[in-house]
């Protein structure tokens, strides 16, 4: 029997770019913004004066992002059940390509370079499942979409939701999960 395939977004799903941007803002300006402060805002409004976008355009931003809690262990376990592909719309930030590749090889060395997809439009992805924090990437996906909770998507209710990687493991490995029945 052919294994199911699972596409997983990088930024906001396995790389905690939001926490990273909030930390940089605090270090530079002394103002502590929390994810709760940003809750419900579009990504461009995560920080005042467009600083989120300014930060992601800086060299080194993606390379130094922290790993989302539980992501490494979850992906190792999910690899026992699925062919995993890491999918990033990295073309939006072309300087991020080598940084994202290096970040993946450091934090997820068990994911082959053959399973890294850097693209501009995720509608080309045709796996069985896709986990992403942006509904725009899930809206045209032909497989089963799963939204990963983030400050900018709390009002989205059209997809099964996971709030963390512990929930992701349960949803994708429990034989009684509604997605697997």
Residues with catalytic function: 9, 11
Residue 106, token pair as written in the block: 């450091």
Q: Which of 77, 87, 95, 169 is closest to 134 using CA atoms? A: 87
Phi and psi at residue 162, in whole multiples of 5°? Answer: -120, 140
Residues 95, 50, 71, 129, CA torsion sign: negative
Which residue, chain included where needed, has tokens 């940084």?
99
- Look at strands 4-9 and 82-88 and give their pairing: parallel
């Amino acid at each position: 029997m052919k294994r199911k395939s699972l596409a997983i977004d990088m930024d906001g799903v396995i790389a905690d770019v939001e926490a990273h941007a909030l930390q940089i803002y605090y270090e530079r300006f002394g103002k502590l913004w929390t994810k709760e402060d940003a809750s419900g805002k579009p990504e461009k409004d995560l920080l005042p004066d467009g600083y989120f976008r300014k930060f992601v355009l800086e060299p080194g931003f993606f390379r130094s992002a922290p790993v989302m809690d539980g992501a490494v262990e979850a992906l190792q376990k999910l690899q026992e059940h699925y062919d995993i592909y890491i999918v990033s719309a990295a073309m939006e930030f072309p300087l991020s390509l080598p940084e994202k590749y290096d970040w993946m090889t450091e934090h997820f060395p068990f994911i082959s370079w053959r399973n890294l997809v850097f693209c501009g439009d995720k509608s080309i992805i045709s796996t069985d499942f896709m986990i992403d924090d942006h509904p725009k990437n899930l809206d045209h996906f032909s497989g089963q979409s799963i939204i990963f909770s983030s400050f900018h998507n709390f009002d989205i209710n059209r997809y099964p939701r996971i709030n963390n990687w512990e929930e992701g493991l349960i949803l994708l490995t429990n034989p009684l999960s509604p997605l697997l029945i």
